[in-house]
Structures are given as C-alpha cells and as structure tokens.
C-alpha cells in the first residue's frame, strides 16, 4: 500500500506545531515540521480567558501552517487543540478566529484522548516494540502520563500541570532565587503526593524494574538538545537520547541560577523557550525522583504522529477539498 501524505496542526498552550508526514499503517515518516510559539496560555490561568492577542497570533499561525501543508501535496489536513483551548471559557472566540483566518475547523480533544494519542504516537517507533513504558508528555498546560507495553495502554491520565501553567503560578525573579527554586520543588512534590502518585504509583509498581521512562514534547526535546549541544532540531540525534538524572539535576541548578538573557545563549535552548524551560525541567526532575528512574529517554514522536495515523474527520476533508477547488479557479 502506498503511503498517504497527511498534515496535522497542533494548537498547544505554548506553541502551534505542524507535522506533514507520509503515513502507511503504523509507519509515520515526517516530511516537514515547524513550530511557532504563540503562548496561547499567557495570562490564562487566573481568569480562564484566552487573551485576544494570543488568539490572533494563534489563528495567523494556523493559517500560515495550512498554506505550507497545502504546498506539500497533503491528502488531508486536521487541526487539533489541547489544554488551554479545552479549558477556556471563551473557547468559541478561538475557534471563530481560526475559522476566519484559515477556513479550518478545530477538533478540541480531551485530556484522556490526548494521553492515548501520545501513547500511540510514541509507540510508532519500532525500537520500542514489546517494552513496558512510562510515557510523559509535558505540555504548556497539562502533562500526560501513560503506562503500557502493548497496543492499548494500561493507564493513561492527563493532569493540570504544564510548563506555562507552572511558570505563571511561580513567577520567579530574574534570576530566580534559591528560595524560589525550593518553592518550585516543594509545590511539585505536594502536587505529586496529592494528585499524581496515588494514581500512577500503583499502576507503575507491577513491572517497575523493566519500565523505561520516555519523555516526549517540547521540554524533553529541548533537554536532549541542550545535553548534546544541538543548535538545530536534529530528529535522528534526539530520538532515543538518554539523559541521566544527574544531568537533569545539573541543568536545574544551572538554569535556575541564570538570568533570562543568559539562558537565551544556551546552545539547544530556543530563545522563546528560555522562560518556560525552568518549569518544564522541574517537572521532569520531579518525575524521575518521585518514581525512582535513573534516566530519561527522549522521543520526538507523540500526539501529532497518532493524529496523522488516522484520516481527518470527514468535515475537515470536505473543507480542505472545497478550499482547494476555490484556489484552482
């Protein structure tokens, strides 16, 4: 069977991402990828209101990515949205802005659906076949924990813990103080004790020694890039990269002692991510320590890969076909 070229636009709390890939069954071969930080969740967590500037920026990014996808000869294009979009009380404003800018409909997926798709996407890596995994996807507004070894996960759960959400809660100084770092760690330990450990620890206990911790999403990718001093996104070097706990602790101490301007000079750390990396790194450090893992394995796969494996909803395909006909006239 010949592969089908599909595109997925993923609207997250921190950034909008595009994946164009050739798909055949469980095989997903990326053709083009791009990310634009629109910080949709900026100022969101006090009011549950998406800000107009962030909405406009996000809508324009989606329209730009849709244009790129069409030039790649895609058979389908789907747009999905996660944490900030699903939690916003003015969600409709975002959907209408995107529809107006690009003509596209948006699928807002639940936290449970997001977790299950992350699992499917990561497992599209054939080297992980048969291995028991704890997959962690730290996003801007939520983190997904998934445990499994076979086609279906044993447990998949989304928690309201993300890099943008945590950063806005902490609001550290520049540079952060040792007391602020300690507060961050204390807050995370308390959240884990109250919300995460009671659900994850029992499921993880059976077969814990043979379980591999996989990190996917922006924070894990950036951590691998910093660890290997990669000035550009290089999938073949990031995929499967192993980052020991000692390195994560070292990065924590370094990043939390630097000014924002200094963090912007670190090789592998995109300048626009130099603020949220503080929170993302802290979440990963807490997971390794709380559940006794000695290292993190990075994955470049996840949500968008799973979305690409499935054909877009009929409504989105019909909309795309209509736009293509109009463009040809």
Give the pLDDT confidence of 257-297 residue by residue, as tens digits.
Answer: 999 999 999 999 999 999 999 999 999 999 999 999 999 99
Dihedral angle over CA of 274, 90, 96, 76, nearest 10: 60
117 part of a folded domain: no
Contact 159/143 with Cβ under 8 angstroms? yes
Q: Are residues 129 and 106 in the same domain?
A: no
pLDDT (0 to 100) of residue 319: 54
Residue 315 has pLDDT above 60, yes or no: no
Domains in the chain, number: 2
Q: Are residues 173 and 251 in the same domain?
A: yes
Q: Are residues 218 and 254 in the same domain?
A: yes
Q: Are residues 70 and 137 in the same domain?
A: no
pLDDT (0 to 100) of residue 209: 83
Q: Are residues 221 and 264 in the same domain?
A: yes
pLDDT (0 to 100) of residue 95: 98
pLDDT (0 to 100) of residue 176: 98
What is the span of the domain harbouring residue 72? 4-111+311-328
What CATH number should be reported for the domain holding residue 187?
Answer: 3.30.420.150
With H, G, I as helix, E, B as strand and everything else as coil, classify residue 329: coil
Q: Are residues 183 and 221 in the same domain?
A: yes
Residue 249 has pLDDT above 70, yes or no: yes
What CATH number should be reported for the domain holding residue 73?
Answer: 3.30.420.40
Residue-wise DSSP of 265-290 = TSTTS-GGGTTTHHHHHHHHHHHHHH
119 part of a folded domain: no
Per the model's pLDDT, the better-predicted residue between 257 and 325 turns out to be 257
pLDDT (0 to 100) of residue 321: 47
pLDDT (0 to 100) of residue 122: 96
- HSE, CB side, 13 Å, CA atoms: give it for residue 268: 20
pLDDT (0 to 100) of residue 208: 79
pLDDT band at 314 (very low <50, low <70, confident <90, very high): low
Alpha carbons 90 and 94: distance in angstroms, whole number: 7
57 part of a folded domain: yes
Q: Are residues 23 and 162 in the same domain?
A: no
Q: Are residues 54 and 162 in the same domain?
A: no
pLDDT (0 to 100) of residue 328: 43
Alpha carbons 60 and 230: distance in angstroms, whole number: 29
Q: Are residues 95 and 140 in the same domain?
A: no
pLDDT digits (tens, 9 = 90+) for 65-91: 999 999 999 999 999 999 999 999 999
Q: Are residues 106 and 129 in the same domain?
A: no
pLDDT band at 322 (very low <50, low <70, confident <90, very high): very low
- Determine the average pLDDT of the residues in 178-201: 98
306 part of a folded domain: no
pLDDT band at 318 (very low <50, low <70, confident <90, very high): very low
Alpha carbons 267 and 13: distance in angstroms, whole number: 24
| Among 127-141, 177-191, 220-234, 314-328, the least confident range | 314-328
pLDDT digits (tens, 9 = 90+) for 42-54: 999 989 999 999 9
pLDDT (0 to 100) of residue 87: 95
Q: Are residues 145 and 215 in the same domain?
A: yes
Nearest to 17 by CA among 231, 168, 233, 230: 233
- HSE, CB side, 13 Å, CA atoms: give it for residue 49: 4
């Amino acid at each position: 069977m010949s592969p089908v070229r599909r595109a997925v636009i993923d609207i997250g709390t921190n950034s909008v991402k595009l994946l164009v890939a050739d798909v055949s069954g469980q095989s997903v071969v990326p053709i083009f990828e791009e990310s634009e930080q629109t910080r949709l969740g900026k100022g969101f967590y006090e009011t549950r209101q998406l800000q107009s500037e962030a909405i406009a920026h996000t809508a324009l990014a989606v329209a730009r990515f849709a244009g790129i996808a069409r030039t790649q000869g895609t058979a389908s294009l789907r747009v999905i949205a996660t944490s900030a979009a699903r939690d916003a009380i003015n969600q409709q404003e975002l959907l209408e802005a995107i529809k107006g800018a690009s003509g596209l409909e948006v699928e807002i997926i639940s936290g449970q659906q997001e977790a299950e798709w992350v699992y499917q996407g990561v497992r599209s890596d054939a080297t992980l076949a048969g291995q028991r995994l704890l997959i962690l996807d730290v996003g801007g507004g939520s983190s997904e924990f998934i445990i499994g070894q076979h086609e279906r996960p044993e447990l998949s759960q989304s928690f309201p813990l993300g890099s943008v959400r945590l950063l806005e809660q902490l609001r550290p100084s520049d540079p952060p103080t040792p007391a602020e770092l300690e507060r961050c760690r204390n807050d995370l330990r308390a959240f884990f004790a109250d919300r995460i450990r009671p659900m994850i620890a029992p499921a993880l206990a059976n077969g814990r020694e043979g379980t591999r911790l996989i990190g996917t999403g922006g924070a894990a990718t950036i951590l691998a890039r910093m660890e290997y001093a990669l000035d550009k996104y290089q999938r073949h070097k990031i995929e499967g990269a192993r980052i020991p706990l000692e390195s994560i602790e070292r990065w924590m101490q370094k990043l939390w002692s630097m000014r924002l301007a200094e963090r912007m000079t670190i090789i592998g750390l995109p300048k626009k991510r130099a603020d949220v990396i503080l929170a993302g790194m802290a979440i990963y450090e807490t997971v390794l320590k709380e559940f006794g893992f000695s290292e993190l394995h990075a994955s470049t796969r996840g949500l968008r890969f799973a979305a690409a494996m499935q054909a877009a909803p009929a409504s989105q395909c019909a909309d795309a076909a209509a736009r293509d006909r109009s463009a040809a006239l």
